[in-house]
């Protein structure tokens, strides 16, 4: 077993101390946020309703997910391997899942208290700067928790398990990814069902503003911003952090030996320190845009992280491959300088984050040509708005995928053609990108906090016209920051998934080697163990991987459609049955809409989760480790394209709506406004439900494959090979996946019949 020297153990201990310091800094920022004024009593009452709805939803969601966590915890014990590793992997699975849930809850809790404070300061002198700072530092708290929990978990595993740490960290990453996917799915369905329902009835049918208190869906919409964008995104970026570290340590051990286990921890530890810098220096100066201040903080912290990472590489790593203890013979002959190529890989990741930020901002920003084009098409109706937004999404996909592919190619070139080294450098690039994660989370949380602040101000009516303008500007900035952080989250997902893909290959190779080169293959075709893409059976795996991403996306969009339909009927019913709502004499029943969102989002949790976990098992045991590699490749390739398309299409529709609402092309309540509202409602489940959920999906499927690879090899090759057992497992897994999808379809048909009966009843004249 690989051991760690005293120097390496000291460094890992310092990393753990930095993680703890990040959590203390989060506490300091939290106190600063909560020290701000809470505004008028009416503002506080509205904020309290949002807090109550968000907490109730997440509490119910966590109770539902606890069952999944217990089942997976038990199943991890059944995987082959050393008993101590299996116990550690299962325990750290729970820790990873718990950390992901805790970060999501912390993000929601603080965001639902910061929103009212941002609304309260908007009308004060300097309200723009102070409001932006409160919103950004709220995100800073969440960002520091992401960094702190992620580094603490990884460092603890390395200190406890030394050379066996990568195997145990698989459980930590899997727990984080699985919970993040569920939170993304549930929160995404909740928030977009409420948003779509509120817009379609409020804006389009009744002609009232977005956050008008007469709309029964407004509270649910604001709750959804927090459980979807705050809790969901925070959990998503945490699992990206954890999974990237898992892949980096697995591949680092294979490529650099002892120092390959430690250097991937040093880089994000530097990122933790520069995240503190980024949060502290992000301040709005005078009348400048909040986006300019946020971008400045991001780029300065990223540049400092690049410099410090280079210094760390030259201090810690030797100048030649041969001087790396524990390195393989093949890599020892590589003439590359480990210090230079490691620094180069980290810089690739940091530069990638900056380019993606710019590129996504270009395709979704309110002042950029693509979004202005989408807004202009509102003059010819909703159909052209939808078509132009889809065109922007498709076009942006090519550029974003090309940039990510270029980064992967650059890492490969640095390796000198060594696949093992290239995969480690890709994982290091992911670690480099994650040096910016503290600021990225702060940028993302800025969006829902400013959005909620505007909603609270509009519902309370206690903000001056100048304050309302400040909040509108902050909300527009928040829309852009949410869009660009989605682009960066996609990039981290691709790098992490690519690195995990390499980890999967390493695991399969190790498992085959342990059985010996003379092991019998049990009469199975050799293609089941081969990775040749030209093999038809491997190509089948590629097709199935891509198809799974499409099926997953379709299920989520359809789930939002069903939930939004129920909300539309409920809000219409309230307007119809209580005419006093429109005159302000009757208070809408906000709680009923929150209950519908909660019920429908939790009802849809199981299907995507079962699909993500079961599909790799069915392919792997049914077709073999080679086709499973193809399955993962297909899922990664299709996943990045689909995620970028969905995110950027939705972002362009959202900001096109903002452009029209600012007075262009007829402004609010014009035909153009109705067209962009419809476009925005199409984009809502694109950018905030299906698109973001693809990120954890591809990592969950990669981690499942990584965990089951030794078991597939065990029942395929050697003395324990058993075709009946292998096929039996595949059939059960396929039945679970298809059964979940069929159950979802049956549920959809039943709910559709209920909705139709409600519609008929609503249009039937009542006696008397």
Q: Which of 72-86, 301-315, 563-577 has the lowest mean pLDDT?
A: 72-86
pLDDT band at 750 (very low <50, low <70, confident <90, very high): low
Q: What is the pLDDT of residue 517?
A: 46
Whether the per-residue pLDDT at 764 is higher than 80: the answer is: no
Whether the per-residue pLDDT at 763 is higher than 60: the answer is: no
Q: Which two tokens stand for residue 209?
A: 């503003």
pLDDT band at 135 (very low <50, low <70, confident <90, very high): confident
Whether the per-residue pLDDT at 544 is higher than 90: the answer is: yes
**Pick from 411, 471, 419, 414: which is nearest to 446 by CA?**
471
Q: What is the pLDDT of residue 767?
A: 43
Cα 364 to Cα 644: distance, rounded to the nearest angstrom: 12
Whether the per-residue pLDDT at 227 is higher than 50: the answer is: yes
Tell me the angle at which helices 41-76 and 83-121 cross, rounded to the nearest 10 degrees. 170
Q: 597 or 266: which carries more pLDDT confidence?
A: 266
Q: 230 with 298: CB under 8 angstroms?
A: no
98-110 pLDDT tens trace: 998 888 888 888 8
**Pick from 99, 260, 241: which is nearest to 166 by CA?**
260
**Pick from 529, 485, 355, 499: which is nearest to 431 by CA?**
499
Cα 568 to Cα 545: distance, rounded to the nearest angstrom: 35
Q: Which two tokens stand for residue 709?
A: 């690879």
Q: 648 with 392: CB under 8 angstroms?
A: yes
For 404-431, what is the mean pLDDT? 87
**Pick from 33, 175, 180, 2: which is nearest to 92 by CA?**
175
Whether the per-residue pLDDT at 655 is higher than 80: the answer is: yes
Q: Going by C-beta distance under 8 Å and a sequence separation of 6 or more, which residues neighbour residue 554? A: none
Alpha-carbon distances of 166 from 270, 469, 590, 702, rounded to whole Å:
21, 51, 48, 15
675-731 pLDDT tens trace: 998 898 888 889 888 888 888 888 889 888 888 888 888 888 767 777 888 889 999
pTM equals: 0.84
Q: 136 with 282: CB under 8 angstroms?
A: yes
Q: Which of 258-262, 286-290, 683-687 has the lowest mean pLDDT?
A: 286-290
For 531-552, what is the mean pLDDT? 87
38-68 pLDDT tens trace: 888 888 888 888 888 888 888 888 887 888 8
Q: What is the pLDDT of residue 19?
A: 92
Q: Which 8-state DSSP code applies to residue 377?
A: G
Q: 549 or 447: which carries more pLDDT confidence?
A: 549
Torsion over CA: 593, 597, 600, 603 (sign): negative
Whether the per-residue pLDDT at 370 is higher than 80: the answer is: yes
Q: Where are the alpha helices (DSSP H) in 516-605?
A: 536-577, 580-583, 590-603
**Pick from 525, 523, 531, 527: which is nearest to 506 by CA?**
531
Cα 35 to Cα 387: distance, rounded to the nearest angstrom: 46
| DSSP-derived 3-state class of residue 418 | coil
| DSSP-derived 3-state class of residue 213 | coil
Q: Which two tokens stand for residue 457?
A: 């101000």
Q: Which two tokens stand for residue 753?
A: 């019949």
pLDDT band at 765 (very low <50, low <70, confident <90, very high): very low
Q: What is the pLDDT of residue 235?
A: 83
Looking up tokens 């903080």 gives 297
Please count the helices (runs of H) and the strands (runs of E) in the chain.
24, 0
For 666-679, what is the mean pLDDT? 87
Residue 633 Rama label (left phi>0; alpha psi -120 to 50; beta): alpha
Q: What is the pLDDT of residue 635?
A: 92
Q: What is the pLDDT of residue 205?
A: 80
**Pick from 305, 310, 299, 312: which is nearest to 274 by CA?**
305
The most confident of 285-299, 679-693, 741-755, by mean pLDDT: 679-693
pLDDT band at 528 (very low <50, low <70, confident <90, very high): low
Count the neighbouring beta carbons within 10 Å of the beta carbon of residue 145: 27
Q: What is the pLDDT of residue 709?
A: 85
Q: What is the pLDDT of residue 280?
A: 86
Q: What is the average pLDDT value for the chain, to the nearest integer?
A: 83
Tell me the angle at which helices 625-661 and 671-685 cross, rounded to the nearest 10 degrees. 160
Q: What is the pLDDT of residue 529?
A: 62
Cα 710 to Cα 707: distance, rounded to the nearest angstrom: 7
Cα 271 to Cα 355: distance, rounded to the nearest angstrom: 18
Q: Going by C-beta distance under 8 Å and a sequence separation of 6 or more, which residues neighbour residue 739? A: 610
List the domain boundaries for the chain.
20-760
For 63-90, what is the mean pLDDT? 82
Buried b (16+ CB within 10 A) or exposed e, 658-677: bbbbeebbeebebebbbbbb
Q: What is the pLDDT of residue 527?
A: 56
Q: 605 with 183: CB under 8 angstroms?
A: no
Q: 185 with 708: CB under 8 angstroms?
A: no
Whether the per-residue pLDDT at 759 is higher than 70: the answer is: no
**Pick from 645, 756, 630: which is nearest to 690 by CA?**
645
Q: What is the pLDDT of residue 731?
A: 93
Using alpha carbons only, what angle is made at residue 374 by residues 372 and 375, rounded to the nearest 5 degrees?
65
Q: Which of 8-22, 512-526, 716-730 has the lowest mean pLDDT?
A: 512-526
């Amino acid at each position: 077993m690989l051991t760690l020297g005293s120097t390496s153990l000291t460094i890992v201990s310092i990393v753990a101390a930095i993680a703890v310091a990040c959590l203390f800094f989060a506490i300091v920022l939290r106190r600063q946020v909560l020290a701000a004024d809470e505004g008028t009593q009416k503002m506080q009452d509205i904020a309290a309703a949002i807090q109550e709805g968000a907490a109730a939803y997440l509490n119910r969601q966590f109770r539902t997910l606890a069952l999944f966590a217990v089942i997976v915890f038990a199943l991890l014990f059944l995987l082959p391997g050393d008993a101590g590793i299996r116990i550690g992997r299962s325990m750290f699975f729970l820790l990873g899942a718990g950390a992901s849930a805790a970060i999501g809850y912390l993000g929601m809790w603080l965001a639902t208290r910061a929103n009212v404070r941002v609304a309260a300061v908007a009308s004060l002198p300097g309200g723009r700067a102070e409001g932006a700072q409160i919103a950004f530092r709220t995100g800073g708290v969440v960002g520091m928790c992401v960094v702190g929990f992620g580094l603490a978990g990884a460092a603890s595993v390395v200190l406890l398990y030394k050379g066996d740490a990568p195997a145990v960290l698989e459980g930590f990453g899997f727990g984080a990814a699985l919970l993040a996917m569920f939170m993304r799915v549930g929160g995404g369905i909740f928030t977009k069902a409420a948003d779509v329902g509120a817009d379609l009835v409020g804006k389009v049918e009744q002609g009232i503003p977005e956050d008008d208190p007469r709309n029964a869906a407004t509270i649910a919409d604001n709750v959804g911003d927090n459980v979807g964008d705050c809790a969901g995104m925070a959990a998503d970026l945490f699992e990206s952090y954890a999974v990237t570290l898992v892949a980096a340590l697995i591949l680092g051990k294979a490529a650099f030996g002892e120092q390959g286990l430690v250097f991937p921890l040093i880089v994000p530890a530097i990122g933790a320190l520069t995240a503190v810098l980024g949060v502290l220096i992000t301040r709005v100066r005078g009348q400048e845009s909040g986006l300019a201040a946020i971008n400045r903080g991001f780029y300065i912290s990223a540049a400092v992280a690049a410099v410090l990472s280079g210094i760390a590489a030259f201090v810690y790593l030797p100048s030649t491959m041969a001087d790396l203890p524990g390195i393989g013979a093949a890599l020892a002959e590589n003439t590359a300088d480990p210090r230079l190529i490691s620094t180069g890989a980290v810089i690739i990741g940091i530069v990638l984050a900056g380019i993606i930020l710019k590129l996504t901002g270009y395709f979704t920003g309110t002042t950029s040509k693509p979004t202005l084009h989408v807004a202009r098409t509102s003059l010819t109706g909703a159909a052209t708005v939808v078509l132009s937004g889809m065109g922007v999404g498709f076009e942006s996909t090519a550029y974003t995928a090309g940039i990510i592919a270029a980064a992967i190619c650059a890492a490969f070139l640095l390796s000198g053609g060594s696949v093992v080294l290239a995969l480690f450098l890709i994982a290091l690039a992911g670690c480099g990108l994650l040096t910016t994660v503290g600021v990225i989370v702060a940028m993302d949380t800025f969006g829902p906090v400013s959005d909620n602040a505007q909603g609270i101000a509009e519902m309370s009516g206690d903000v001056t016209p100048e304050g309302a303008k400040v909040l509108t500007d902050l909300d527009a900035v928040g829309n852009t920051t949410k869009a660009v952080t989605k682009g960066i989250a996609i990039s981290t997902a691709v790098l992490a998934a690519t690195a995990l893909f390499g980890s999967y290959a390493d695991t399969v190779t190790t498992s085959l080697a342990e059985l010996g080169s003379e092991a019998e293959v049990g009469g199975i075709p050799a293609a089941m163990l081969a990775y040749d893409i030209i093999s038809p059976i491997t190509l089948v795996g590629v097709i199935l991987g891509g198809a799974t991403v499409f099926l997953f996306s379709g299920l989520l969009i359809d789930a939002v459609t069903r939930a939004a339909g129920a909300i539309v009927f409920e809000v219409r019913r309230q307007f119809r049955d209580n005419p006093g709502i429109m005159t302000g004499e009757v208070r809408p029943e906000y709680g009923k809409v929150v209950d519908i969102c909660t019920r429908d989002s939790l009802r849809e949790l199981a299907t995507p989760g079962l699909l993500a976990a079961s599909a790799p098992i069915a392919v792997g045991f049914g077709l073999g480790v080679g086709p499973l590699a193809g399955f993962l490749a297909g899922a990664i390739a299709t996943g990045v394209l689909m995620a970028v398309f969905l995110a950027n299409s939705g972002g362009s529709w959202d900001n096109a709506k903002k452009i029209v609402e600012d007075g262009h092309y007829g402004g609010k309540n014009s035909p153009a406004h109705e067209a962009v509202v419809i476009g925005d409602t199409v984009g809502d489940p694109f950018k905030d439900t299906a698109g973001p959920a693809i990120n954890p999906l591809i990592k969950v499927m990669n981690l499942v494959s990584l965990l089951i690879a030794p078991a597939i090899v065990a029942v395929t090759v050697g003395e324990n090979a058993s075709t009946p057992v292998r096929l039996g497992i595949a059939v059960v897994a396929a039945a679970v996946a298809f059964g979940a999808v069929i159950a979802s379809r049956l549920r959809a048909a039943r709910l559709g019949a209920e909705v139709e009966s409600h519609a008929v009843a609503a249009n039937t004249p009542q006696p008397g």
